[in-house]
Amino acid sequence: MQHLEYMTAAYIIIWVAILLYFLSLSKCEKAIWEELRELRATITKDNPS
């Protein structure tokens, strides 16, 4: 099991980085869609026609 620690470190870093990036995108997307929904609702309420 030569260099097991290096291989483990590399794989952990790759998956943690990709997961964190994905989660940050999802969090940001959720907040934006929430705000968009509220804005659209406000616009529809102000202009019912």
Partner 1 sequence: MHQKPYILPLVFGILALICLGIAPYLVFVYAGIEKEMGLAQKIFYYHVPSAFSMFLGSFLCFVFSIFYLWKRDKNCDLWAACSAEVSLLFGTLVLITGAIWAKPIWGAWWVWDAQLTLTLILWLILAAYHMLRAYLEDPVQSARFRAVLGIIGFLNVPFIHYATKLWRTHHPEVVRGEEISLPPDMKAAFFFCVITFFALFFALLFKRVSLAKAQNELESLKAEI
Please give, one letter per residue, the 3-state secondary structure of 15-30: HHHHHHHHHHHHHHHH
Q: Which of 26, 6, 4, 3 is nearest to 14 (CA)?
A: 6
CA 42 centroid distance within chain: 26
Kindly state whether residue 41 participates in binding partner 1, applying the rule CB under 8 A.
no
Query: Of residues 1-40, which lie at the interface with partner 1 (CB under 8 A)?
Result: 1-4, 6-7, 9-11, 13-14, 17-18, 21-22, 25-26, 28-29, 32-33, 35-36, 39-40
Binding site for partner 1 (CB under 8 A): 1-4, 6-7, 9-11, 13-14, 17-18, 21-22, 25-26, 28-29, 32-33, 35-36, 39-40, 42-43
